[in-house]
Amino acid sequence: MRIAFGGIHTECSTYSRIRSRVQDFRVLRANALRQSCAFQFLNRYPHEFVPTLHARAVPGGPVERATYELFKAEFLELLKTTLPVDGVYLAMHGAMFVEGMHDAEGDWIEATRSIVGEACPVSASYDLHGNLSKRIIDNLDMLSAYRTAPHIDVEETGIRACNMLIHCLENKLRPGLIWVPIPVLMPGEKSSTEDQPAKRLYAQLENIDKHAGVLDASLLVGYVWADEPRSTASAVLTVSNKDSASEQLAITLAQQYWDARQEFDFGGVRTGSIAECLDWAAEAGTKPVILADSGDNPTGGGVGDRAEVLEHLLRRSFRSALVAGIADPPATNACYAAGEGATLRLSIGATLDPEGSQPVITETRVVFLAKTDEPSERQAVISINGVTVVLTSRRRPFHHIRDFTSLGLSIESFHLLVVKSGYLSPDLAPLAKLNLMTLSDGAVNQDIEGLPANQFRPPTFPFNRNLQWTPSAVWSARS
């Protein structure tokens, strides 16, 4: 069998003023796509998986329309060259927002369908922070979403999506989707699957898979920072036959999510203003304290260029703190021009979105410059009165231990580590003797009920606290 694969994977805050452009995406084609780590699992199948194009960006602001159209046109051209194929596997995120569109994945998936035709099964993997629509459901045959947040089952999800596809091809099954949109939106930080209620809601999915006729059960939190008509949580089942028992399973799952809506919260993490969090960090008799600057978290769609926490640290002469990192191309380049050991006066922060925040202007010393020939990969470690800061050329998270060790930094040697993050990554969480999260301002502000200009989102909890709701199932047009 021949199965084409590709897709587009990003998450976009409609509250961000910056745009995601071509240079923000890592684009893989042909052999580079076939050989990439993310798709190594496809080599384990006895079938031929034919690469097309896969474009992936760190979450950010809306995708520039021309960038999207460019990728889509190339993807469709490459898809045409793979024909005939027995099936298609799409590796998507699900919360992309493209300028002038309200259902970007729907557009991509519908265009895929128009190339491969009605008879060709299409299976998609999705992030559980993705949003769905009738158009998406109607043009897919199978869907499988992550079951963990933080996401530690990315490959397993791809395997589930491909196993289903191959199972249906081998057994000549025509699966369908049952979708129950749930009018609830939560930030990822309140819906980690390591905390209740998400932990128990997601734990059921494996058992639902075992019901006769069910190929896959998915539960999606959705993406709250997109003011779109399709922004909701969802329960979705891929089923091999259209029966009422499967429909009832999807409805029950959705009802359970709705019933738990008041229970979603920030887990075991202590949350507060920047000042409160720095008070708690200073008082802590243990280290390292890890503080997540959540409103500016680039992996949620934040810009990642804000310097407010740094400003607070300097104002209170906080010693032994590491801030990783602040995306600031001009400041990073100035450090490279000055060289290691140099002292210079820098304006730090607010260069990607000058309207969003204020920079910190201060004397600094350049401690370390990452060796790279690629300007976008530059990282400068600087020191300011006992506070160490990593400046970066591009928007990027610091989620892995190697992100620090590659810069000669040991997290344990600092009293306080500040990262632009929501819940901590699986690498960082075990290191934190105390985990704090500041509910800071930014494009992914956790104060979701205060989000401006909610024009397109349907009535949804918690925006509409008195909402009444009864679940109803939507069957995909192809089922």
Which listed residue (86, 105, 127, 141) binds Zn ion by CB under 5 A? Answer: 127
Q: Site size for Zn ion, by CB under 5 A?
A: 2
From the list 57-65, 128-136, 189-197, 317-325, the region that binds Zn ion by CB under 5 A is: 128-136
Residue 288: is the preceding peptide bond cis (ω within 30°)? yes
Nearer to Zn ion, 127 or 141 (CB): 127
- Stretch touching Zn ion by CB under 5 A, among 126-134, 269-277, 309-317, 332-340: 126-134
- Report the residue number, 129 or 396, with the smaller CB distance to Zn ion: 129
Residue pair 300/444 in contact by the 8 Å Cβ criterion? yes
| Residue whose CB is nearest to Zn ion in the complex, by number | 129
List binders of Zn ion among 246-265 (CB under 5 A).
none
In the complex with Zn ion, which residue's Cβ is closer, 231 or 393? Answer: 231
CB of 223 to Zn ion, least distance (A): 8
Q: Map residues 86-125 to x or -, x wherever contact with Zn ion holds by CB under 5 A.
A: ----------------------------------------
- Binding residues among 331-370 for Zn ion as defined by CB under 5 A: none
Do the beta carbons of residue 464 and residue 455 sit within 8 Å? no
Nearer to Zn ion, 124 or 289 (CB): 124
Q: Which of 175/301 has CB closer to Zn ion?
A: 301
**Strand bridging mode 270-272 / 434-438:** parallel
Q: Burial of 317 by CB count in 10 Å (0-12 exposed, 13-18 middle, 19+ buried)? A: exposed
Strands 87-91, 176-182: pairing is unpaired
Give me the least distance between CB of 220 and Zn ion, in Å please: 10
Q: How far is the CB of 127 from Zn ion (least distance, A)?
A: 4
Based on the number of CB atoms within 10 Å of its own CB, is 114 exposed (0-12), middle (13-18) or buried (19 or more)? exposed
| Among residues 129, 230, 287, 420, the one that binds Zn ion under rule CB under 5 A | 129
Please say which residue, 192 or 392, places its beta carbon nearer to Zn ion.
192
CB of 225 to Zn ion, least distance (A): 12
Closer by beta carbon to Zn ion, 129 or else 261: 129
Q: Which residues contact 256 (CB under 8 A, 6 or more apart)?
A: 201, 204
Contact segment (CB under 5 A) with Zn ion among 127-135, 169-177, 203-211, 318-326 equals 127-135
Shortest Å, Cβ 236 to Zn ion: 16
Please give the Cα distance from 22 to 64 (Å, whole number).
8
* Residue closer to Zn ion (CB basis): 127 or 216: 127
Is 395 a residue that touches Zn ion (CB under 5 A)? no
Site of interaction with Zn ion (CB under 5 A): 127, 129
